[in-house]
């Protein structure tokens, strides 16, 4: 993976740098994930789109840095790191926790710099105004927390069964879960950008109805697309997801 300006900005990585691209797509990982999730996406998207994968502190090659566990300080730290790359049209894609981060970042950019993405793609996350009825899990005892990870089916089995690996991942996952589970929605005007919500048909935690509720977060066009798979359909249905993304992105540039 190529990391542009790694010495000064470790937040944004470029799997395939495309300086002549007409649009940048910033991709935000799910809880426990890192920028490598999006390392192959460039090959499935239009050549006019540059994939910019976000690497959060405590994740991937930033393991030595403490992870954020609240969303407000995270997006406030992230916004200025993206600023140098917002000199051309840009869009956001976020899956699960990444959807929430990208949404709040879009609102912060609107407030502080009057910039907005041309399109916000939110994947595998209920609309932010819907209060999470599930009990919080980020502070569960270790054994119960690992069982919750098994239920979610997003952590590789070899990690769950390897004491050293799960010991390394647990603090990161707890911090990421805390971002989501302590989130407090604040009512603001809808965004002006187009918004597309993606969901998994077999996702037991995020219903079609809760995805449809994203409609109220934009004044522009809203679309909802469902794919075969559970909460991690972005892996199991990746070709179909990238095809849907490509169709939308071609309309933007």
Q: What is the 3-state secondary structure (H, E, C) of 143-158?
A: HHHHHHHHHHCCCCHH
Pairing of β 222-227 and β 49-54: unpaired
Catalytic residue at 246?
Answer: no
C-alpha triplet 42, 225, 99: angle, nearest 5° = 65
Q: How far apart are CA 155 and CA 199, in angstroms?
A: 19
- Of the residues 5, 7, 42, 96, only one is catalytic, namely 96
Q: How far apart are CA 127 and CA 125, in angstroms?
A: 7
Q: Tokens for 149, please give them.
A: 């990870």
Phi, psi of 48 (to 5 degrees): -85, 0
Catalytic residue numbers read 96
């Amino acid at each position: 993976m190529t990391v542009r300006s790694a010495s000064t900005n470790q937040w944004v990585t470029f799997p395939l740098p495309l300086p002549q691209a007409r649009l940048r797509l910033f991709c935000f990982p799910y809880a426990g994930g890192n920028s490598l999730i999006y390392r192959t996406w460039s090959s499935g998207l239009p050549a006019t789109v540059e994939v910019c994968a976000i690497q959060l502190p405590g994740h991937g090659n930033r393991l030595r840095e403490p992870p954020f566990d609240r969303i407000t300080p995270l997006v406030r730290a992230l916004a200025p790191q993206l600023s140098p790359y917002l000199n051309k049209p840009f869009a956001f894609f976020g899956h699960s926790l990444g959807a929430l981060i990208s949404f709040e970042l879009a609102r912060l950019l609107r407030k502080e710099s009057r910039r907005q993405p041309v399109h916000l793609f939110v994947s595998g996350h209920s609309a932010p105004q819907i209060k999470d009825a599930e009990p919080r899990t980020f502070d569960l005892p270790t054994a119960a927390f690992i069982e919750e990870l098994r239920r979610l089916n997003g952590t590789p089995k070899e990690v769950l069964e390897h004491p050293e690996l799960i010991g390394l991942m647990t603090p990161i996952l707890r911090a990421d879960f805390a971002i989501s589970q302590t989130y407090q929605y604040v009512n603001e005007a809808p965004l002006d950008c187009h918004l597309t919500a993606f969901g998994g048909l077999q996702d037991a935690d995020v219903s079609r109805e809760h995805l449809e509720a994203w409609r109220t977060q934009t004044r522009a066009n809203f679309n909802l697309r469902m794919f075969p798979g559970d909460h991690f359909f972005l892996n199991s249905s990746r070709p179909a997801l990238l095809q849907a993304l490509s169709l939308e992105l071609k309309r933007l540039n």
